[in-house]
Amino acid sequence: MSEQNTKSLRQALSADYEGLIKRLSRCLGSSDLAREALHETFLRVDRVSEAVTVHSPADYLFRIAVNLAKDRRKSDRRLLNAAEIAAIMDIPDDRPDPSAVVEARIEVDALEKALAQLPARQREVFVSAHLEHLPHSDIAARFGINVRTVEFDLRHALEDLSRRLGRKVIRRFGPRPKSTPKE
């Protein structure tokens, strides 16, 4: 099989290169895009099938270049532009810095040590309520005690932990703590 299409396309490209660039620039609105498309067209000329004879090589090359340019624009639209990249780069890093990680680990270790010093039932009630998020009635059933005892154990565990960790207990609901009379 001869390579008649490839030869005629290459001849047309070399004979009217500047004319094709001008036509493509008008059609695409960019001389840079026209040049890139025509260069890509040159690379694809070898892939043209010989099954059908190309009657107008210049028009055929023009159509290939236009299609390549359209494909390029579609793929470029999927990419981020400079403003979008800048916006992404301005997103603050919310990850804790190494000193905050170390500080948090120290606090967790202190909490574990303070928990270990609580009486066994108070510790288990505290863990069930605050780490497992169980309702007081489920905790009472688990330990065979009444709900009032669960609340009592929680209150004493919180007070003991806050004292050991040097933190203030903040009550969000329930009765206010008894205040000492001023003298």
DSSP 90-159: TS---SPPHHHHHHHHHHHHHHHHHHHTS-HHHHHHHHHHHTS---HHHHHHHHT--HHHHHHHHHHHHH
Pick the CATH number of 98-165 from 1.20.210.10, 1.10.10.10, 1.10.1040.20, 3.40.50.850: 1.10.10.10
Q: Mean pLDDT for the chain?
A: 84
| Tens of pLDDT, residues 41-73 | 888 887 777 777 788 888 888 888 999 898 888
Q: What is the mean pLDDT of the segment spanning 69-91?
A: 80
Contact 6, 41 (CB under 8 A): no
Residues of the chain with CATH 1.10.10.10: 98-165
| Tens of pLDDT, residues 100-149 | 889 999 999 998 999 999 999 999 999 999 889 999 999 999 999 999 99
Residues of the chain with CATH 1.10.1740: 4-83
**Region of poorest pLDDT, from 60-64, 74-78, 135-139, 165-169:** 74-78
At residue 1, the pLDDT reads 38
At residue 183, the pLDDT reads 44
pTM equals 0.45
At residue 50, the pLDDT reads 76
Q: How far apart are CA 165 and CA 97, in angstroms?
A: 23
The architecture in CATH of the region 4-83 reads Orthogonal Bundle (1.10)
Residues 6+ away with beta carbon under 8 Å from 73: 33
